[in-house]
Amino acid sequence: MAKDMSFQAVMDRKGEIMKAAIGIDYDLFESGSIAFDYERMMRETGYTLQEIETIQRETGVGNTPLLELKNLTKLARKYAPFGKGARIFIKDEAANPSGSFKARRAATSCYHAEKLGYKGVIAATSGNYGAAVASQAAMRGLKCIIVQECYDSKGAGQPEIIEKARKCEAYGAEVVQLTVGPELFYTFLVLLEETGFFNASLYTPFGIAGVETLGYEISMQFREREGRDPDVVVVTNAGGGNLTGTARGLIKAGAYDTQVVGASVSLEGLHMASDTQFNKKSFTTGHTGFGIPFATWPDRSDVPRSAARPLRYMDRYVTVNQGSVFYMTEALAQLEGLERGPAGNTSLAAAFIIAQELDEDQIIVVQETEYTGAGKHIQPQLTFAKENGIEILIGDPSEEVPGKNIILPKDPSYIKIDEVDLNRIRRSYIRNCIKHNSTKEIDKEDLKFLIKDTRSNEKFVKSILEEFGVEY
């Protein structure tokens, strides 16, 4: 008898579909309540750092250049208090085969898929990861399908996403483009079940472990070049995998004193799953529409337990406006001769301000760049924004209202960052743990897990549990 392929029936089978498509029995790590054994999951289903370095070298991934941005450092010092203005560096991940750090994730996923005997890989992504998976799949002789959320109901597609589809197709992948809505995950599950392909998810242990080499390289390169670790690493934050993997790599290098800062574009007030608001934003990744929800509930991802858990590793979380990122994109090109895409420049905009807080002898590093292309450039993005009724202004970025206008800073002194209250994010995460597990009472293991997963302390977690009436 034919399987029921209705939306609800497929959703009801998602557990078994995922298990078959990843080859991980996530039940092995569960405790039956809120807690699960995160480190055991990372250890038993991933690879060692040395194994991943070998895997990545096979396809030319990693060992990317570390560049000092001397002209942007001079500019930052012009606006910094006397004696302030840290040296700004950038890790040029655009040097990877597909043009972004996500080649590191894709390298391990495609290697693992080939190792397990899968004939192809599937990824649901509108970002650089699709191109990374397509590139790595081509190198390993695997078929590849990329599922994109690309259009609104009127058929208007974001230029950046369309550019990424072009790149995926250039590597030989089949691209399935959808309108915004719940059909993305449904279509993804149907394709996994019908093809029997591997789920090259962004959020598997081997995907996140693939990014650990990035954090490790940063530490090793700075020790060789400067004789020490950087003081601050700024990471563009969306689903949390970039920050998680980089931080874990820094820890494995012993860079315990390096501060890890997450940075996202502020899209406050816009809903990512709204058909009418989908094209009101000018950034498809690295924004708060992903960064906040995934920080407050990592397991919303396409695997039962996400290996991307940014709250475990984040020392600070800041946001910047859209206009400031466009400004820094152009500044990087015109002052440093580096034309790079917008995602990495989110953390560059934040680093430009944070550098002004630090002493001149300190070091801050932007840990990734990405390639640029026709749909990623500033002008196509701003033109598309205008077509969607967004006003483009020059002035004070603090007055920007996402969905209504984009304000380019009048001069570099107008670039600002806003602090995200991490305790508020931690509170929301604990609340989601309680809600999704229908918890009325927790045990000691749950308490320990919540403390680690929020990078907080027993007093804080207990106060939130008491607020929600949960016994411990």
Residue 205: both structure tokens together: 């242990």
Q: Quick check: 213 and 319 in contact, CB under 8 A?
A: no
How is domain 7-55+100-201 classified at the CATH fold level? Rossmann fold (3.40.50)
Q: What is the largest CA-CA distance in the chain?
A: 76
Range with the lowest mean pLDDT among 263-267, 352-356, 439-443? 439-443
Residue 306: both structure tokens together: 């996400």
Q: Can you give the pLDDT at residue 45?
A: 78
Range with the lowest mean pLDDT among 98-107, 171-180, 187-196, 273-282? 273-282
| Helix, strand, coil in percent for the chain, rounding step 5 | 50, 15, 35
Contacts of 333 (CB under 8 A, 6+ apart): 339, 340
- Residue 87 three-state SS: strand
| % of the chain beyond a pLDDT of 90 | 81
Position 18 pLDDT exceeds 80? yes
Q: Which of 342, 326, 312 lies closest to 160, judged by CA?
A: 342
How many other C-beta atoms are found inside a 10 Å radius of the C-beta of residue 33?
15
DSSP string of 175-239, one letter each residue: EEEEESSTHHHHHHHHHHHHH--EE--TTSHHHHHHHHHHHHHHHHHHHHHHSS--SEEEEE-SS
Q: Can you give the pLDDT at residue 1?
A: 60
58-96+206-419 CATH, one of 3.40.50.1100, 1.10.3720.10, 3.30.1370.160, 3.10.20.30: 3.40.50.1100
Q: What is the mean pLDDT of residues 205-230?
A: 97
Position 2 pLDDT exceeds 90? no
Domain limits, the chain = 7-55+100-201, 58-96+206-419, 422-467
| Alpha-carbon gap, residue 246 to 104, rounded angstroms | 11
| Alpha-carbon gap, residue 472 to 466, rounded angstroms | 9
Q: Can you give the pLDDT at residue 14?
A: 87
Q: What is the mean pLDDT of residues 94-98?
A: 97
Q: Would the CA dihedral through 134, 140, 141, 143 be positive or negative? A: negative
Write the CA distances from 75 to 69, 205, 319, 378, 470, integer angstroms.
10, 40, 21, 21, 51
pLDDT digits 0-9 by tens, 128-169: 999 999 999 999 999 999 999 888 888 888 899 999 999 999
What backbone torsions phi and psi does residue 402 show, to the nearest 5 degrees?
A: -55, 135
Instruction: Decide whether 7-55+100-201 matches 58-96+206-419 in CATH topology.
Output: yes
pLDDT digits 0-9 by tens, 419-440: 999 999 999 999 999 999 988 8
Position 118 pLDDT exceeds 70? yes
Q: CA end-to-end span of the chain, whole Å? A: 48
Q: Quick check: 105 and 132 in contact, CB under 8 A?
A: yes
| Alpha-carbon gap, residue 69 to 140, rounded angstroms | 36
Residue 154: both structure tokens together: 């009127």
| Alpha-carbon gap, residue 358 to 375, rounded angstroms | 35
* Sole residue written with tokens 């106060």: 463
Q: Which of 278, 392, 236 lies closest to 326, judged by CA?
A: 392
| Alpha-carbon gap, residue 180 to 161, rounded angstroms | 12
pLDDT digits 0-9 by tens, 28-82: 999 888 999 999 999 987 789 999 999 999 999 999 999 999 999 999 999 999 9
Write the CA distances from 341 to 18, 112, 246, 346, integer angstroms.
32, 29, 20, 10
Per the document, the length of the chain is 472
pLDDT digits 0-9 by tens, 238-279: 999 999 999 999 999 999 999 999 999 999 988 877 888 888
Residue 320 is inside which H or E element, if any?
strand 316-320
pLDDT digits 0-9 by tens, 178-206: 988 778 889 999 999 999 999 999 999 99
